[in-house]
Amino acid sequence: MTPIQAKSLPYILAGRDVIAQGQTGSGKTAAFTLGLLENLNVKHFRIQTLVLCPTRELADQVAKEIRKMARTIHNIKVLTLCGGMPFGPQVGSLEHNAHIVVGTPGRVADHLRRGTLKLDDVNTLVLDEADRMLDMGFQETLDEIIDHMPEHYQTLLFSATYPEQIASMASRITQDPVVVKVATTHDKNSIHQSLYEVDEQMPRVTAVRLLLLERRPLSTVVFCNTRLETQEVADQLSHFGFSAAALHGELEQRERDQTLALFANKSISILVATDVAARGLDIDALDAVINYQIAREYEVHIHRVGRTGRAGSKGIACTLFTDKERYRVGRLEAHLGHSIERATLPAANLLEQAVYKPSMATLQIEGGKRQKVRPGDILGALTAEDGISGHEVGKINVFDNFSYVAVMQKVQKVALNKLSAGKLKGRSFRVRLLVL
């Protein structure tokens, strides 16, 4: 067990309301999933658990983890209700009921107003990443949802940070809660943190370019404090030849999905993101994090750094600051309880080096779960006679009506032709190279 699981699970299984604070990647999802599955009566085909998440990406990830942990329970149904998706099919799914609903506050509230969702049988409410939901302005929506809840239920509130807003909300929706906190520090052996002072005359994006060219990480998240800066930095990095894309709240859902798929598949090397957009990213082996500025909240800095160096892998975290921001460095170190190593930016002549490119390309197949397409079907089609070898195939993700498969750049044309000319499940599907 992770520390947060060991501390919170006994109370969760005992039916207590729990407020748990721990950084992303600490194992919170498994902790509350075990609790809600313990409360579940599979024979009672009604909605018994509601899990609320701030973003569709996190909701999809949580639903995926719940399904994985519930795979030995017969006939369990988990339904995802998120914005950016057609309303009609969700209504149809609700008419057939479900045991667990995972969703974003806005879409869940829409269904409650229209009477297509009933929470009368809910025994467990989970608020995942509650601090981000409040940051995104969901307070009134959360209050509206809670007004539809039955009189008695268990509340599990998970949050990476614990601002006053969380304490205020928790006092209204929990009964005699147990508060569990896990120290938000990082293992220095797995994450190497450094601070880089940027001269006022040097554009910050130049400092980012120097760090990328020196370290050459396969996957990097550059954190910015504003949406506007996020797009500007991504555009500038792309102008200089880097494989970079922006992720922020103003993107259409289709753009967000494609950007995340390309980054997760290592077909984009650099993701420039705001903190809200990056919460809940399901990215394996993130090599580096670059803080374009020090985060406004020091707990958020810990959260950013914790994106790398996971599951036994090593990562680097670089933070840029100027002389005017030196006082914020001192406050950050005081909050952390330790100093952060100062490092010198690489020499400017490094900018003359060639920009590195991502190792993979991503193909989109216009067929998915509803067309009975499985990952094994895609892999088999790619590696059949005159195809490519298995080690040249990367991640395969199958969604309802489309699928993504990553292949090495050098074989993308062969893979594209193989899937376009061949068949999956006896059918031909349109296939295209996915680019932003």
Which of these, 163, 86, 88, lies nearest to 131 by C-alpha position?
A: 163
CA dist 51 and 179 (Å) reads: 19
Task: Quickly state the pLDDT bin for 335 (edges 50, 70, 90).
Answer: confident
Instruction: Please state which architecture CATH assigns to domain 360-433.
Output: 2-Layer Sandwich (3.30)
Which of these, 146, 130, 185, lies nearest to 18 by C-alpha position?
A: 130
CA dist 251 and 209 (Å) reads: 24
**Averaged pLDDT for residues 269-285:** 76
Distances (CA, A) of 125 to 185, 303, 348: 28, 24, 53
Tokens of 187: 């293992």
Do strands 360-365 and 431-433 pair parallel, antiparallel, or not at all (unpaired)?
Answer: antiparallel
pLDDT tens, residue by residue, 158-180: 987 777 777 788 888 888 999 99
> Do the domains 3-181 and 191-352 sit in the same CATH topology, yes or no?
yes
3-state secondary structure 262-308: HHHCCCCCEEEECHHHHCCCCCCCCCEEEECCCCCCHHHHHHHHCCC
Residue spans per domain, the chain? 3-181, 191-352, 360-433
Asked whether the beta carbons of 286 and 307 are under 8 A apart, the reply is: yes
Under CATH, which number does the domain 191-352 receive? 3.40.50.300
pLDDT tens, residue by residue, 401-436: 899 999 999 999 999 999 999 888 888 999 999 987
Q: Which residue pairs, CB below 8 angstroms and at least 24 apart, start in 146-150?
A: 146/172, 146/173, 148/112, 148/119, 149/50, 149/119, 149/122, 149/125, 150/119, 150/120, 150/121, 150/122
Q: Domain 3-181 classified CATH 3.10.450.100?
A: no
- Of the listed ranges 13-22, 296-305, 321-330, 354-363, the least confidently predicted one is 296-305
pLDDT tens, residue by residue, 71-89: 888 889 999 999 878 899 9
pLDDT at 165: 74
pLDDT at 84: 79
What is the chain's alpha carbon radius of gyration, rounded to the nearest angstrom?
23
Ranges of H-type helices in 54-203: 56-69, 87-95, 105-114, 130-135, 139-147, 164-173
